[in-house]
Structure 1
């Protein structure tokens, strides 16, 4: 994974407003997606695990290690639990599927290119998708 240890910052979004409106997402998530540009870093740990680090407003806000191909349960800030599965498709596509407490799924497909990342977001219950772009900052 060439992107291991590299840091990426969101630069722009396409269709995010339509996707958020169609899915009735939590207001905190809407605010974060629209106003903050987090820096994300994925670091390979061995052959089967990846560590995610997330910085928002220059502060380290999240660090999580996950095993590829294994479903994990996580508790959100609001107390609801979600199940998440990450998978690596080839050398440059990281897929994340989140199963919400109501049974709906959200899918985040990150395609790591030479100097940037294109993330496509889809959610059950809508045919709308959004694309979020990140650029390398390190």
Structure 2
């Protein structure tokens, strides 16, 4: 999974340290989905490049889960499918989106952010998981 790749996280760095990808217009790109979106600096830079250089973009989907959605049983109970490290990285990805991506989304682009299920992956459990590791 993404968190085991040892990527350089964008968090903790000033936003002006984002590298610029050589400008190339993408005039026909309508929809982009990034599955396994994480806080990796290179992935955030690529996302910003797409937003800044794609005039035809209608929809951008950033999936921070990199797993299928949780399974809900007939008793209306979630069965979480993400481990603690994946949950922590998903929270970092959401922070990176808020800090670096949201301000670059043009008004005509629909932004979809897929995040861990709030029923079974509550923030409180993330805090306790982070303290244990």
With normalisation by structure 2, the TM-score equals 0.25
Bigger radius of gyration among the two: 2
Higher strand proportion (structure 1 or 2)? 1
